[in-house]
Amino acid sequence: MKTLLLDTNIYGLALERKDIAEALVFFADQKQKSEKIYFVLGSEIVNNEISAIPHKETRNRLRELYQAVTSGEIRLTDKVKSLAMDYFNECKSNAIKITLEDCEIVASSCFANVNFIVTDNRRTMRSPKAVNVFNSINRKKGLKTPEFIGYEMLKSFLPGSGVP
């Protein structure tokens, strides 16, 4: 079973793109099955970002998607905050553009042994320089960094795509 965490921007894309919405429907169906191929975890940080959306209708639709797809939520613990701060400070000292929230999402995913973080965030969280920072710090701490994938790769997980 593969574990995924969807970044906030993937939920937003599902409102705009039918192919992404169909992928989330597949993952919501997976949640109901006893024999799961994929397990989608939520994140307290993603949940907070969704809750902060000012447009009520959009916020409510994203909350519904989030709740339909996720099978549990990773909490923002002191260990997660500490690791996220290590990432953030290292990125800052290397002039790598990233938010503390992105670092918290990555850190929480590492502690939860998530296989894939799905994000459309190519210039920050998924940037090669940021990924190098995550890998370097995680190696020192004995943690595994999840693989960062975009929504195109997410769609390849769907039945009929040829990817198990």
Is residue 65 a part of any domain in this protein?
A: yes
The count of domains in the chain is 1
Is residue 161 a part of any domain in this protein?
A: no
The pTM for the full model equals 0.92
From CA 109, how far away is CA 91, in angstroms rounded?
A: 18
Mean pLDDT of the 48-72 span: 96
Is residue 66 a part of any domain in this protein?
A: yes
How far, in Å, are 19, 79, 89, 104, 110 from residue 155 at the CA level? 8, 32, 33, 25, 23
Q: For residue 115, what is the domain's CATH number?
A: 3.40.50.1010
Per-residue model confidence (pLDDT) at position 33: 86
Sequence-distant (≥ 6) Cβ neighbours of residue 60 within 8 angstroms? none
Beta strand spans in the chain (E): 2-6, 38-43, 73-74, 116-118, 147-149
Per-residue model confidence (pLDDT) at position 162: 55
Is residue 131 a part of any domain in this protein?
A: yes
pLDDT tens sequence across 110-146: 999 999 999 998 888 999 999 999 999 999 999 999 9
Output the average pLDDT for the chain. Answer: 93
Per-residue model confidence (pLDDT) at position 156: 86
Q: 162: alpha, beta or left, given left = phi > 0 and alpha = psi -120 to 50? A: left
Mean pLDDT of the 22-26 span: 92
Q: Which domain holds residue 36?
A: 2-156
Strand partners, 74: 43
pLDDT tens sequence across 87-118: 999 999 999 999 999 999 999 999 999 999 99
Per-residue model confidence (pLDDT) at position 96: 95
